[in-house]
A and B are shown apart, each in its own frame.
Chain A
Amino acid sequence: MVHLPKLNELGFFEIRLESIGGLGANLAGKMLAEAGVEGAGLNGVSFSSYGSEKKGSPVKAHIRFCDLETSIRDTSPVERPHIVSIFQEALAKTVNVISGIYEDSTVLVNSRKTPEQLKERMKLIGGTIAVIDATGIALEEKNRVNMAMLGAMFRLCPFLDPETMKGVIRKSLEKKYPQTVAPALATFERGYQEVVFQTFALPEGASMPAFVRADTPVLGYETQPLGGLIVNPGNSILKDLSISRSGMMPHFKEESCIHCAQCDNVCPDNCFVWEELPDKKGRPQMFLKGIDYQYCKGCLKCIHACPTDALSGEREEDNYADEHRVPHLFDLVVQ
């Protein structure tokens, strides 16, 4: 049987996948676990964060490996991972993706940035950063991000055999999606080959942040209105949904806009911001001012609805959304 490189006190090697729904992290986690259990003969458990999380919402997948003699009794999520695999770089904005890592853990990120840049961005003190441009590879190979991530994760798990994985990919896909087998294998292979690493030693005197379990809700039995009522309607405006975008976003060119409201009619996320202004004849009229990118999930329905070239779909670049956001002006109690 294969040898697991590190074990925690209960005898587990633990992996956590951080993603948004729709990138296939759940499937990747299952496949990785199958390769360990069915391929490498380990004992293991695999599961995802459960619930009604939709595409674009933060999700996690958890894997524990151990030897066959170790009983798996724990059903709780992986809190101290030896490997964290981050499918969506922007997640770090709203989720503590590296929570609970050890100083010798590896953090794999789907990114075009360098390990140094990512270390800064994620405020990593010590550990190994592995980078793979999974989105880029997936676009080129016309396949999915999860296969490239899976390839990279295999490099990080030397106890797993990539050839076994290719078998699992075939098995998982050929029934439901036979046409995707070849591109998936190519994407996996590139993920495996193209991942780069850099280890950052924990600076002398520094220590890794202590792990804190964040499961205490903001409200409690002394403050929660009876019966689960929400007495603060519309407060979902506080949410930042920009992490739901998986690479694309609409750009707005005001000078081409005829203010026809076709975009507004099809937008699922109420992102278009309007203002009443006098038209050329001085009569009050509605004008589209722009897009509130805080809520835009990048579906690009508006691009099709737009009869001019005022809206176009573009690859998301750093800071574009922040610089071009036109915020909704909500009627707040405290302005």
Chain B
Amino acid sequence: MAINLEKERRTAKVEQRVVFESGNEMAAYAAQQINYHIMGYFPISPSTEVAQFLDLMKANGQHDVKLIPSDGEHSSAGICFGASTGGGRVFNATSANGYMYMLEQMPVQSGTRFPMVMNLVCRSVSGPLNIHGDHSDLYFALNTGWPILMCRDPQAVYDMNIMAIKLAEDPEVRLPVLVASDGYFTSHQKRRVSTFAHSEDVLKFVGETPPAGFLHTLDRNNPITVGPYMNEPDYINNCYQQSQGMYNAERVFERIADEYAELTGREYPMLDLYRMEDAEVAVFLMNSASEIIKDVVDELRRQGIKAGSIAPNVIRPFPQKQIAEALKHVKAVTVGDRADSYGAHGGNMTNEIKAALFTYGNHSTKVVSRVYGLGGKEFYAEDGHHLFSLAIDAAKQDRVEVPFDYYGHTPGDKEKAPKRMMNPLRFEDLKTGLITVTRNEETGKLGVRIPPLRALTKKPKRIAPGHGACPGCGIFSGLELFFKGIEGDIVALFHTGCAMVTTTGYPYSSHKATYIHNLFQNGAATLSGLVEMFWERKRRGEFDKLGLSDDFTFVMVTGDGGMDIGMGPAIGAALRNHRMIIVEYDNEGYMNTGAQLSYSTPLGHRTSTSNLGSAQQGKVFHHKDTAQIMAATNIPYVFTGSEAYPQDLVKKAAKAQWYAQNEGLVYGKILIACPLNWISKDDEGTNIVDAAVNSCFFPLYEVEHGQTAITYNPDDKGKRVPLTDWLKTMGKTRHLIKPENEVALKSFEQEVERRWQVLLAKHEHPYL
């Protein structure tokens, strides 16, 4: 609801304070005031900021919410479920594919009746990847058994978050509640928002603690069994209980909303009706677009057209009766669905509204269904006028000419259809013969000869210029250097991350050879499937006609984030030992989504989810040693590399290719600079990763058939520098050098030294 400040000031019974914040900020602010016990989260745009704002407040000691950065949304939902069984208050926020990844946890959360609150900052669920707002993730939530509260603006995000926990915990409901707002349109637009001035008033409203009398898993005197094995004939009864809880939620929400209006003056009926009293034509939209349409209603009313608009504040339980009531005298309504239910002749809202009309005996109101605004496509007032014109026509003709269609799609100009611009790379240019790899039959080790790097400039780059990475980005210098060591054709798979986003902004691609992207966590599995398809089709002789001169080298490129959420699939692919390379560009964080911590972020490093403040000084646990984890899968070859040591990296690439073509899976990690989020100068990247190597934070080594060899030892070369020489090169770590962070620095130094000594021991002993 658009707020009327004057009105509120008159009617609010508890002191309010006006802030100027975005939807994400308001979700975080409400969570801070409620002071949840636990938030398990994983970054995904556009919801990530919720955790960021909470971390920033936490760093300054403004709340006690335990923030748990998970290794993927499946885990974040698991953390939340586990925590919620323990009887405290639990919070989460996610979007789109993140929501899909946790989807199987949703009916478990509701079916076992543990309340919690999650913000769904709505975004398109898709392949090809789209990070902008629509309701396709939300529509998956419709069948999960969670009550769903809708937020059209940041004010509603705040208010619904306060009401959501009370609704979830109500004895008549006992269900997890989803709070849905529009990604970017609401999550990232700053507005005036009225809030409770004092957290005590919030807690007075929602209850200082969750209502007593409900069983939980941390009560030793009342042991319980959570999640039994329940088949027929009992299961249907559990579902029936849940269904009752869901329908109860309508009555309970209305009661809570009344109490809330008493305190704040802000009203949230199940259905928000705008100028519907005598409306003859109407448009039904949800969330941000349902505000824009009100301007259109005003304009049409000025023209003498009896227009009105309908938007739900709650869609689970669905306000069926209220909608039927609102449409009783309406001649035609256009329902805009911001997501399709492919093949259903209407989006979910269309069909539910039709069901409402049918249930209440309304056979006269015409319903026009349009899918609009997908993937963040803007909704302008002009679009609202179009939706109304459809309803006006239907009312006039007393029939709906085109009951279902898309709106806003464009055919494109045939003249401008894509035509190949560059010829494919020539095999003979890629297979230079300048690099030779030979296996020593006695030792089983590989010998590599590479030419001066000057000669390798003849080999075409795998990635075309024109990509959109930041100035000074280390990804592409690191990757191209690696590719200099690879001869012949590659097929590349890029995990979600900066390298993927900046090289494939449709309709452009910087990949000269074939490239694939799949979901964030699933690259290793995906590529392993393709590798096996290659070998099987080759075995069947199906490539004879395709001009294949040599076997492809299959390369998966991932960031350190992809190796967090994708660790399981990567280990699975390694254990199956497919003939492919996984090369990780490690920039120590989820840089694509705004520099959240990854498990590879070292201790004390500042990220947007490991902030600095009076109560927290950067990340609180040590960095993940992915190379050692992968080495433990006993794959033939593991390496680390850096652009600061080009010959070393090119040689390792050549070995990686030999192993990937002849034996099995290779994993390599390249430390690369991220000037933007390391807060360093664009031109310093090579020097900074060089210091990381020479401080032994990032040792250069390889593990070949289980035997470790350090390929560059800074001690031997007289190049060893203290860890602080590296840390002082970056804005994200400079605080570690200050005396007040001595304990953290010491701990970090000890860990780096311990890992280095272990590596030295492994280097000395073939069986370590």
A245 to B472: give the CA distance in the assembly, Å: 11
Expressed in whole angstroms, the Cα–Cα distance for A272 and B476 within the complex equals 14
Given contact pairs A230-B508, A332-B423, A55 touches B676 in the complex (Cβ within 8 A):
yes
The answer to whether B413 touches A239, judged by C-beta atoms less than 8 angstroms apart, is: no
Chain B residue numbers with a CB within 8 Å of A286 are 454-455, 457-458
Q: Which of B681-739 touch A at CB < 8 Å?
A: 682-687
Residues of B within 8 A of A331 (CB): 422-423, 425-426
Question: Which of B127, B128, B131, B191 sits near A72, CB closer than 8 Å?
Answer: B191
| A314-330 Cβ-contact flags toward B at 8 Å (1 or 0) | 00000000000000101
The interface bits of chain A over 61-84 (1 if a CB of B lies within 8 angstroms of the residue's CB, else 0) are 000000011011111110000000
Q: Which of B498, B504, B513 contacts A54 (CB 8 A)?
A: B498
Residue pair A54, B469 in contact (C-beta under 8 Å): yes
Within 8 A of A (CB), among B188-217: 188-192
0/1 interface trace, chain A 269-302, chain B, CB 8 Å (1 if under): 1111010100000000110100010110111110
- Please judge, given known A-B contacts A75-B291, A219-B507, A267-B477, whether A236 and B466 are in contact too, CB under 8 Å: yes
Instruction: Determine if B411 is an interface residue (Cβ-Cβ < 8 Å).
Output: yes
Task: Return B10 CB to nearest CB of chain A, in Å.
Answer: 14
Whether A270 and B480, one on each chain, are in contact in the complex, defined by CB atoms closer than 8 angstroms, is yes
Question: Which of B295, B507, B510 lies in contact with A74, CB distance below 8 A?
Answer: B295
B544 within 8 A of A: no
A-B contact count (CB 8 A): 294
The 7 closest A-B pairs by CB, nearest first: A220-B412, A236-B466, A228-B128, A299-B472, A223-B412, A55-B470, A297-B471
What's the Cα separation between A75 and B133 when bound, in Å?
12
Residues of B within 8 A of A (CB): 2, 5-6, 20, 22, 45-46, 60, 127-128, 131-132, 182, 184-186, 188-192, 288, 291-292, 294-295, 376-381, 409-414, 416-426, 452-458, 461, 463-477, 480-481, 498, 501-504, 506-515, 592, 612-613, 643, 646, 675-676, 682-687
Quick check: B188 and A48 within 8 Å, CB to CB?
A: yes
- The reply on A182 being an interface residue by CB < 8 A is no
Contacts of A122 in B (CB 8 A): none
A residues less than 8 Å from B511 (CB atoms)? 233-234
Residues of A within 8 A of B423 (CB): 331-333
10 pairs, CB–CB < 8 Å, chain A vs chain B: A34-B20, A46-B189, A75-B186, A222-B412, A232-B420, A234-B422, A238-B421, A265-B646, A295-B466, A304-B684
- Per the bound structure, the CA–CA distance linking A216 and B416 in Å amounts to 13
Which residue of the partner chain, among A10, A22, A220, A237, contacts B466 with CB atoms under 8 Å?
A237
Contacting residue for B20 out of A33, A52, A74, CB 8 A: A33
Least CB distance, A310 to chain B, in whole angstroms: 13
> Whole-angstrom distance from the CB of B516 to the nearest CB of chain A?
10
Q: Interface on A for B, CB 8 Å cutoff?
A: 10, 21-22, 30, 33-34, 37-38, 43-48, 50-57, 68-69, 71-77, 175-176, 213, 215-225, 227-228, 230-239, 241, 244-246, 259-262, 264-272, 274, 276, 285-286, 288, 292, 294-295, 297-301, 303-305, 313, 328, 330-334
Do A218 and B413 touch across chains, with their CB atoms under 8 A apart?
yes
The answer on a CB contact under 8 Å between A276 and B422 is no
Within the assembled complex, what's the spacing in Å between the Cα atoms of A191 and B191?
A: 27
A297 CA to B411 CA, complexed, in Å: 35
Whether B465 contacts A73 by the Cβ 8 Å rule is no
Task: List 20 other contacts, CB 8 Å, given A54-B470, A262-B646.
Answer: A34-B20, A77-B378, A219-B416, A223-B413, A223-B416, A224-B412, A233-B422, A236-B509, A238-B508, A239-B468, A259-B454, A265-B481, A266-B686, A270-B480, A295-B466, A297-B470, A297-B471, A297-B472, A300-B472, A331-B423
**Contact A268–B185 (Cβ < 8 Å):** no
B472 x A328 contact (CB < 8 A): no
Asked if B410 and A221 sit within 8 Å, CB to CB, the answer is yes
Q: Flag if A333 contacts B420 (CB, 8 Å).
A: yes
- Which of A48, A270, A301 interacts with B465 by CB under 8 Å? A270
Residues of A within 8 Å of B472, CB to CB, are 268, 297, 299-301
Nearest CB in chain B to that of A52: its residue:
B501
Cβ-defined contact, B190 with A231, below 8 A: no
Indicate which residue in B182, B292, B463, B513 contacts A73 across the interface (CB closer than 8 Å). Answer: B292
A331 → B minimal CB distance (Å): 5
Nearest residue (CB) in A for B425 is A331
Interface pair B131/A52, CB less than 8 Å apart: yes
Q: Is the CB of A304 within 8 A of B471?
A: no
How far is it, in angstroms, between the C-alpha of A264 and the C-alpha of B465 when the chains are bound? 13
Known interface pairs A75-B291, A234-B510, A297-B471; A37-B465 also in contact (CB < 8 Å): no
Asked if residues B412 and A221 are in contact (CB atoms below 8 Å), the reply is yes
Task: Give the docked Cα–Cα distance between A75 and B741 (Å).
Answer: 44
In the complex, which of the residues A45, A48, A222, A259 contacts B411, with contact meaning CB atoms closer than 8 Å? A222
Expressed in whole angstroms, the Cα–Cα distance for A238 and B612 within the complex equals: 42
* Complex Cα spacing A274 to B429, Å: 14
Nearest chain-B residue to A68 (Cβ)? B5
Whether the Cβ atoms of A266 and B412 lie closer than 8 Å is no
Given contacts A217-B410, A332-B421, whether A237 and B464 have CB atoms under 8 Å apart is: yes
Beyond A305-B686, A333-B422, whether A270 also contacts B6 by CB under 8 A is no
